[in-house]
Structure 1
């Protein structure tokens, strides 16, 4: 898979050099074979270059050697022709395919430079007056091959993260059949199969736990570092690592539809997508190609008109053209794109839209949809109070409340049941269970009449509210009556996540304001907003009104990121400058969002924005380096400082070009996500 990613990336590079290699008989796809091919060509040319150097007049003058025999120039010509054809083949075929595509790029420059050098030198062998420069031709091709080989290895490094994601998928699974288990290939698993996952193994397919319990490490998929406990009926994701328990899992998706494969596809298409920065780099690389050819020809004309011989003028022209290769420029952005997209996926940030991700550096306001992002999205018991003699203690009160609520699916009931589990209480039997419409539930538990009711019910029945009763910000309170007397109350709240305050503080440090948007009442919204020191809130907002609130902020000139759960917030997510779907990791189809966060952790939103900024910085650094390098080296190559005895040979030009490309690749590789 790495080769395909590289294929995407370098196709974006103006040099289009993956297409060039398609003529080498590898179909351009097999990346490792391409690296091996360059390595082989490099060594063959290296062996041939040594005799070429020894037979060259220039080297003989330097070394004060006299190697001459009749026909030596023809031997030199044959050796150089072999180097030109065998070593230069990738560049010549690349030049041809670029011309055919009317898209001149790097291969055009190299192909043109070596052809001119070879053509001129050949003419000197067969009678043209002048010095050949076969040795320059050989060293130039040698270094170009080395450069390509080194650079393709660096490029491969940038796509390695994607390969890591692919390797998460185990190759075999233990399928449970009637007569025992059989090891089968992962890709043969279908929906409904039952598989066994032993301790320490990777989960082979998305599914539901049918038997057993274990802690799973999902960090490579969701960025969540703490192992997650999975028990019967819970979802597991393919690629996560099983802890020390044994699990039987019922497969819910075939491997092609699994979460991991969707992520890999998403990463691949995002690496493929061209964003504005990339288009800018492409344009620059195209201009650089044109400038290179013009600068090369101008250099040639100027030196000839100054009375220098053709050989000298040619050498300058070839050096200018080689140094100008827009390779570093062509790879500056794609390498950063490939690395950032794959790294994000490993940290639970799925980038669906590259432009949205790169624009995240412009965000001035983040609008948080409260439930489930800043808060946990589920009710937890925050206070328990007993009144009078009916319930001897808190546990007694919770036990009777739990007995009645055990039959309900309501979020409040779920919160109370969580508390029952936490306190390890056993529940008494219930009879005569009935609902009091809109006001609560009633029944007989442990031989006592119990009612669980809202504050409204107390008022209607003229029951006194207890003296210590006051609601705190975002609490919901239920009262417990035992034998028609008030026995106490249980307060529940949607608890604010521990990470929320830090996330909001970090946004403030980056001059980004945070606004709460919620359907909850004003009191709850104000309480959460104050607690987290946010810049404001919109409360009691109906789903269709969320869109208007976003528009209102945009009219003020804010660049708005909206976080929502991707389903009922779709219109608002689409309206926002950047839509971030939260907590819908398993459902990557959060269509309208540009970015999907697997977890609902608000810290991830901050990481995303900071990582977007870091990614953009890396792109700009790479572009600045790639253009700056050309601005300095082109005049040197043209011979501007010739009178000061500073001259760059074609081979040195090729070394400089390669080094600049490798620097760009290394810089891209330094991009990391700070957690």
Structure 2
């Protein structure tokens, strides 16, 4: 690959990482991450009792199938719908037997979670569900065995309650992001094996066997197995997975190289300086793990409501039993207490949040916004500032010719024609930009011969019998050339604003120059203005020089800029903003953005980014349009409103129905029977489900950003 050294720190977009070529890797044997994934589970024990998404899914489907005969053969359900369940030998035992299996099998995660909430003295949804199904289970068996003359057949209610709660938790957990994904994606950047140089030859060993001081052969196209220093050879190194820059960097003897980066064009030898936990990649890995752990402890909004309902239902149940016992009616006391405790379990509350999340994620996906973490959806409405990574996010990440200046006696079309001819056979991003500019100018591009790459300086070829070179300041210095006065003033202005400048040299004389800059996305202007119109500040972080950052910030009217930020320090910039009391949404695309994406209240990965950035983020923009962030903001506000509406309805139903079931209006002849309570509970669930469906009417179109 030819090299265009311009002397400027000019970032380009990440190329991404092709993990398909790394399938089948045994990352357990790498010994490079040192991160225990289990330490970063997303769910607290109280919420899901340590169970997996697949467990809730499997138990839901089996419970649902078994619930059908339980409901169908239930006398209470048959009475509600006006039909008589079939009568045959053993028919009466179908609901108790299947209901018992459902209680112990489908209800196991809730019973376990409820017990953990008791031990931690933090009652919530699990304990509330456990109490309801346990009371329904005992009361139903008492009725099925004909003990005490009670009519408390809750088998069908027990079965549906367990099925609905399993469905709610399955939906909820499926919406959550996985901390393991980001760590696995980082691990995939390292090769399994390395070629260690021994006695003039090489031996293939596991990366885990490498030690500091070893000499390793890295072939063209291969990844560095560890951090080290080049001892022999030189190559263009793709560091995009670490730096976020697509522009390859020339590395030669004495230069440091980082584990996971790629020698694109030549083989080289390196001496290992750091392995395993000491590598830069492992350091990023640890930052991702720590940041994700710091944002994974948020409790679901519904759990707080469930804690209130637990105390409310328990207190109401105790008072109900005491009151009706004192009134001399033990059967009424038992019946009404059981009814209170069973209907206090919130079918609707169990679905209030998961349904909204599920529909929101679907609606977002249609707008190109992939929500991986439910808390990201809730937090987005509280964001004070959006921190954009510049390259590849606000900009296209590819150089474009923005200006051309020609010396006296040379036209700009002629200049572009010559430069385009020299660059025509190159696939370098800079070369493509110059060839594209030449084509767009309408100039005919002549054929070039004797092409030569001038490593670290530029390129050279023969065009129409003349020797033409294209390169930066390093090439001028080597040839002892200076710019003509007719162009020096113009190129100085380009340099001041941070543009990269390449000179065109014909037969030893500078005949002109071109300015190359990272092109700003038009969508970025609209996104930033729309965010500011919503009262949200916009900041930008970049590794570019201050003058480059200022130029972009001025053009886009950005509120705050962090320039010349090292990849490892982006995480710190997020922490700085948070220390000022701001809630931060980070939008980025490279591996170096991963810790910052995970540290922010909401991490948003741009779709063209690397796999690890997407895994670290709570939200992924499927495309490159930053206006999709607006869709996320609007959806967050809309979904939050639906959550609260559902919570108010679900808890409001309980607050009203529980006293009625307790018999507070019995003196007026108004008593909520177990059957009526079950029906109202089902209606409450339907209302919550229908209200969540209204989210589908929300229009999310990035092109409508304003």
Give the TM-score category using the shorter length: 0.5 to 0.7
Write the distance in 1 (CA, Å) between the matches of 2:597 and 2:622: 16
For residue 507 of structure 1, the aligned residue among 531, 544, 551 is 531
Shift of 1:653: 0.5
CA separation in 2, counterparts of 1:410 and 1:87? 68
Q: 1:645 to 1:634 in 2, by over 3 A?
A: same
- Once the two structures are superposed, the pairs formed by residues 157-556 of structure 1 within 5 Å of their partners are 276-278=298-300, 281-282=302-303, 284-285=305-306, 288-289=309-310, 291-307=312-328, 309-340=329-360, 349=369, 354-356=374-376, 358-384=378-404, 388-391=408-411, 394=413, 396-408=414-426, 410-420=428-438, 427-431=445-449, 433=451, 440-452=458-470, 454=472, 457=476, 460-461=481-482, 463-466=484-487, 469=490, 471=493, 473=497, 475-482=499-506, 487-556=511-580
1:602 equivalent in alignment to 2:613 = no
Distance in 1 separating the partners of 2:80 and 2:519: 78
Q: For 2:666 and 2:143, how far apart are their aligned partners in 1?
A: 23
Distance 1:149 1:340, change over 3 A: same
Q: Is 1:660 aligned to 2:678, yes or no?
A: no
The yes-or-no answer on 1:641 pairing with 2:641 is no
What TM-score, normalized to structure 1? 0.63
1:11 Cα deviation from its structure 2 partner: 12
CA distance in 2 between counterparts of 1:649 and 1:306 reads 18
In the superposition, the TM-score normalised over structure 2's length comes to 0.60
Closer, same or farther: CA 348–39 of 1 in aligned 2, 3 Å? same
The secondary structure found in structure 2 opposite 1:568 is: helix
Partners in 1 of 2:617 and 2:166 — Cα distance? 34
Say if 2:106 is the partner of 1:106: no
Equivalent residue in structure 1 for 2:68, among 39, 46, 50: 39
Over 3 Å counting, the alpha-carbon distance change for 1:12 and 1:603 in structure 2 is farther
Q: Check 1:439–1:14 CA distance in 2 against 1; reply closer, same or farther (3 A cut).
A: closer
- Tell me which of 21, 25, 29 is aligned to 2:58: 29
The CA deviation at 1:302 is: 0.6
1:475-500 CA distances to partner (integer Å, 9 max, x unpaired)?
Answer: 44434355566655433332111210
> 1:572-611 counterparts in 2 under 5 A?
572-573=596-597, 576-583=600-607, 585=609, 587-588=611-612, 593-611=617-635
Which string of whole-angstrom CA distances, capped at 9 and with x for unpartnered residues, describes residues 184-240 of structure 1? xxxxxxxxxxxxxxxxxxxxxxxxxxxxxxxxxxxxxxxxxxxxxxxxxxxxxxxxx
> Does 2:100 correspond to 1:85?
no
SS at match of 1:372: helix
* Counterpart Cα distance in 2 of 1:52 and 1:542: 68
Change (3 A) 1:399 1:662: same
Unaligned runs of 5+ in 1: 1-7, 56-74, 163-269
Q: 1:90 to 1:354 in 2, by over 3 A?
A: same
Once the two structures are TM-superposed, the CA of residue 569 in structure 1 deviates from its matched residue by 3.7
Contact 1:480 1:489 in 2 (8 A): yes
Q: Tell me how large the CA RMSD over aligned residues is.
A: 4.8
Change in Cα spacing, 1:499 to 1:95, as seen in structure 2 (3 Å) is: closer
Structure index of larger Rg: 1
Residue in 2 that maps onto 1:195:
none
**How far off is 1:443 after superposition?**
3.6
Q: Is the 8 A contact 1:9 1:335 kept in 2?
A: no
Give the conservation status (yes or no) of the 8 Å contact 1:147–1:658.
no
Shift of 1:287: 5.8
Seen in structure 2, the aligned counterparts of structure 1 residues 50 and 9 have a Cα distance that, compared at 3 Å, is farther
Change over 3 Å in CA distance of 1:108–1:609 after alignment to 2: same
Q: Secondary structure of 2:564's partner?
A: coil
CA deviation after TM superposition for structure 1 residue 389, in Å: 4.4
SS at match of 2:516: strand
Runs (5+) with no aligned partner, structure 2:
1-40, 116-126, 177-291, 702-706
The CA distance in 1 between the partners of 2:452 and 2:43, in whole Å, is 68
| Residues 1:37 and 1:296: Cα distance change in structure 2 (over 3 Å) | same
Indicate conservation of the 8 Å contact 1:439/1:453, yes or no. yes
Match of 2:589 in 1: 565
For residues 51 and 544 of structure 1, what CA distance do their matches in structure 2 show? 65
Displacement, 1:378?
0.5
- Paired with 1:80 and 1:9, the residues of 2 have a C-alpha distance of 44
- Post-superposition Cα deviations, 1:480-532, rounded to whole Å, max 9, x if no partner, equal 35556665543333211121011111221232211122233333322221221
What CA distance in whole angstroms lies between the structure 1 residues aligned with 2:574 and 2:107?
52
Task: Give the Cα–Cα distance (whole angstroms) in 1 for the partners of residues 419 and 80 of structure 2.
Answer: 94
Of structures 1 and 2, the one with the larger relative CO (CA 8 A, separation 6+) is 2
Distance 1:108 1:546, change over 3 A: closer
* Offset of residue 401 of structure 1: 0.8
Secondary structure of the residue aligned to 1:636 is: helix
Q: Which residue of 1 is the match for residue 197 of structure 2?
A: none
- SS of the equivalent of 1:646 reads coil
Preserved contact between residue 370 and residue 517 of structure 1 (Cα < 8 Å):
yes
Q: For residues 644 and 488 of structure 1, do their structure 2 counterparts lie closer, same or farther at Cα, with a shift above 3 Å needed?
A: same
Q: Number of paired residues?
A: 519
CA distance in 2, matches of 1:434, 1:141: 83
Separation in structure 1 between the aligned mates of residue 141 and residue 47 of structure 2, nearest angstrom = 25
